[in-house]
Amino acid sequence: MAALVTALGFAAAGIAFALQNVILAVAGYFTMVAPNGIRVGDRVSLQGPFGYVHGEVAEIGFVRVKLHELAGEPLRPTGRVVIFPNSVVFTGTFFKNPPEAPAS
């Protein structure tokens, strides 16, 4: 019986280790959709492996967020789509930008 419990413990630890990125991404999803989180259409800035990306949220999935990239001053669409894992809210830098002021 003790051997079975030990084997199940090692199996559970192995599964948790193998799924740590997925678990972190799903936890990031719940953080993003919280009441003060982001919504489709919000402008955000994320730090990825190649620097900051500014974008408008196009889609929020359980494990990834899709952005339409914005660049320049003022920020304008570049036509590129950038996809980040939701875990970026814990592992990188993530900013929600204020809404753009209406043009006068």
The H or E element that residue 52 is part of is strand 51-60
Distance CA 6, CA 20 (A): 21
Determine the structural domain holding residue 24 and report its residue range: 2-96
Q: Tell which residue, 96, 85, 21, 97, has the closest CA to residue 48.
A: 85
33 within some domain = yes
Q: Is residue 60 within 8 Å of 91, Cβ to Cβ?
A: no
Residue 104 lies in a domain: no
Residue ranges of the alpha helices (H) in 2-87? Answer: 2-18, 20-32
Contacts of 58 (CB under 8 A, 6+ apart): 40, 66, 67, 68, 81
Is the model's pTM score more than 0.75?
no
* Mean pLDDT on 6-12: 90
Is residue 92 over pLDDT 80? no
* Residue 99 pLDDT > 80: no
> What CATH number should be reported for the domain holding residue 23?
2.30.30.60
pLDDT tens, position by position, 44-77: 888 866 678 889 999 999 889 999 999 888 888 8
Residue 75 lies in a domain: yes
Is residue 102 a part of any domain in this protein?
Answer: no
Is residue 101 domain-resident? no
For the chain, what percent of residues have pLDDT higher than 90? 12
Q: Average of pLDDT values for 94-102?
A: 73
Run of H or E including 51: strand 51-60
Number of domains making up the chain: 1
**C-alpha torsion 73→36→33→56, nearest 10:** -10
Mean pLDDT calculated for residue range 8-32: 87
